[in-house]
Structure 1
């Protein structure tokens, strides 16, 4: 099957928005100008923080009003990002982005409320997706329990099945594996889904879970883990785990760090206080090791294994049209094989560009946001257009 024919878009978590008015302001200031720049229809991959969802649903016609505002701007919406729950543009986000986790009633309620909004934005018979966090963060002292998370996701699937029956709109949750989270590798993800299906089966909801709960494949995240895109997608498919959403994104890459003093110095300029930037190294024997964040302390003393590693990759989303930033490389080469693998599936996941770090890129990498987003959309569309249809 070809890749999804819906208009390509980008995730609006790059815009601060804690109110409905701020959401619309971001669309007017950035999204609509980006669409004009690319010169074709475009989707808005909306990030709706919890206060925005609450504000929309507080009014009886809130979702209809949002739909009207989007329609007036000529924007299509088929996917939401419900990973960041609160202020994704606070001075310090870091590991707080993984709260509340999937054992909490707050996370379940927020996701279900996002689904209610999305159902009001989709056309009749339409399909939507909602990306969400990978259960929780491994670095917390008390990691969330898989069993309780599986029960919460089963409840979510039942809600989504009810929404589908009542509205004719099919909405699927997309769990997004990420480095140093409870689900980070393909193997861990498949193990969790087997547990989830078992829990759902005992509660009479396995069909609903298989239909409505899957994964969000973020190309940056799995590249940081040094996973091969084609193998990753094929392994998920063989295991019966549905890929509901794909985020086109790139990580930073530093080859031969021991010999590349210029590259290590350039990497120091990417240290910043807002987001977590996990670092992984592939050793010369093929093993990988990781550090939870890119910090000055890490770069000052990375340790002998990191120092002697073959390659470092850093979870710092960089523009997908960039092959390198000066002496630093990117994982752009993973994008085409990832999209080819997705196109080989017998269904069409939703695809969006997700570079949320524009505001924290160092000076030499930063550029006008409208220009940068348009360049990313165009570069991704070219990759998609180059993939043969079956």
Structure 2
């Protein structure tokens, strides 16, 4: 999710990052989880020349696109994002139009041998304000989206699925809430995007999540292979000082504790450090940290052990629950200074290390190594 909001900026990033990452990983081709802003999605849908440039850029980079992130509407790398990332939400025509544009673009970018594409989207809205009228507007827009996805499939032969991505603090924070939001809607085209950092932040279980989804007949459209922060003793002064290095101005970093009710905790790390969250037990913080950096400073660690457990549930059993996986670390440039890449080459090396970690984790589960 590089800082490119226009279509040509996205295309330029293929040469700046996608090709070097593929070369560093050492694969002949690489799958790219592509973030398209509303501006980029609209341009690529309506400008055939821009779409051709995108295809050509993908070919040069050795990349292919099967999944799109259509959660942030725009300006995701602005100096301050915080709660703006949840606007416009699913009560609005803007969110519907943006997602439809992204779906049409994805249908036209899918490789010939890929059966379906996946899109992750906002978990309806931030939890406040919320009422029956806003809930009804969301359902109407999601029903219209399913109709549009059916049209795309009829006209292009490509099946596109959209998954709500549960996130702490939102209307849909848990899988249970996702089931309520999707009840009665098209289950062939609408499902859940399971972000494994979000799941871990809420002390959730992938086994419980998959069982609930299976029982409801709702699919995991894609999984985001991501890790959050865990601090065993948030009352410890050294741990609090280390956590302070992660309290930054761009993104929200929601904090949860074990056994807390939905929306219990704090909506951002500075609030938790200021005393809004009980520090008698462990905290989990919604801060996507590099997958290969489990050990952190002064009593902090990443949730990669929980991530391994989740991957085993999703991919290590008798069946694969999901076949679209996306490594999503968008926080490289707000990491504590000692971990933060300062050049494009350092960022490429970090992303390649994450992909290698993910590939090795899948091999450990019995999958065969192939393209990234």
Q: Same fold per TM (> 0.5)? A: yes
8 A Cα contact 1:325 1:365, kept in partner: no
Q: Provide the alpha-carbon RMSD of the alignment.
A: 1.9
Which one of 267, 277, 293 corresponds to residue 322 of structure 1? 293
Which one of 327, 338, 352 corresponds to residue 353 of structure 1? 327
Residue in structure 2 matched with residue 135 of structure 1 by the alignment: 124
Which one of 225, 232, 235 corresponds to residue 255 of structure 1? 232
* Alpha-carbon distance in 2 for matches of 1:356, 1:301: 27
Residue in structure 1 matched with residue 279 of structure 2 by the alignment: 307
Q: What SS does the corresponding residue of 2:58 show, helix, strand or coil?
A: helix
Residue in structure 1 matched with residue 13 of structure 2 by the alignment: 26
Q: What SS does the corresponding residue of 1:86 show, helix, strand or coil?
A: coil
* Alpha-carbon distance in 2 for matches of 1:137, 1:322: 30
Question: Deviation digits for residues 60-86 of structure 1, max 9, x if unmatched?
Answer: 343233122212221011000000001
Measure how far apart 1:226 and its partner are.
0.5
Which one of 348, 354, 361 corresponds to residue 383 of structure 1? 361
* Alpha-carbon distance in 1 for matches of 2:47, 2:260: 53
Q: Residues 180 and 314 of structure 1: is their aligned pair in 2 closer, same or farther, counting only changes over 3 Å?
A: same
Matched, 1:214 2:186: no
Mapping for residues 116-155 of structure 1, pairs under 5 Å: 116-124=104-112, 126-140=115-129, 145-155=134-144
8 A Cα contact 2:19 2:61, kept in partner: yes
Q: Residues 287 and 88 of structure 1: is their aligned pair in 2 closer, same or farther, counting only changes over 3 Å?
A: closer
| TM-score when normalising by structure 2 | 0.91
Residue in structure 2 matched with residue 101 of structure 1 by the alignment: 89
Question: Deviation digits for residues 361-385 of structure 1, max 9, x if unmatched?
Answer: 0112223211110110000001111
* Alpha-carbon distance in 2 for matches of 1:301, 1:73: 48
8 A Cα contact 1:64 1:121, kept in partner: no
Q: What SS does the corresponding residue of 2:48 show, helix, strand or coil?
A: coil
Aligned length: 357
Measure how far apart 1:52 and its partner are.
1.1
8 A Cα contact 2:292 2:354, kept in partner: yes
Matched, 1:54 2:42: yes
Residue in structure 1 matched with residue 221 of structure 2 by the alignment: 244
Measure how far apart 1:21 and its partner are.
2.4
* Alpha-carbon distance in 1 for matches of 2:46, 2:190: 27
* Alpha-carbon distance in 2 for matches of 1:335, 1:347: 15
8 A Cα contact 2:233 2:239, kept in partner: no
Q: Residues 234 and 388 of structure 1: is their aligned pair in 2 closer, same or farther, counting only changes over 3 Å?
A: farther
Work out which structure has the larger RCO, using CA pairs closer than 8 Å and 6 or more positions apart in sequence.
Answer: 1
Q: What SS does the corresponding residue of 2:231 show, helix, strand or coil?
A: strand
Measure how far apart 1:319 and its partner are.
0.4
In structure 1, stretches of 5+ residues that fail to align are: 1-12, 201-208
8 A Cα contact 2:66 2:111, kept in partner: no
8 A Cα contact 2:14 2:57, kept in partner: no
8 A Cα contact 2:265 2:276, kept in partner: no
* Alpha-carbon distance in 2 for matches of 1:140, 1:263: 34
Residue in structure 1 matched with residue 266 of structure 2 by the alignment: 291
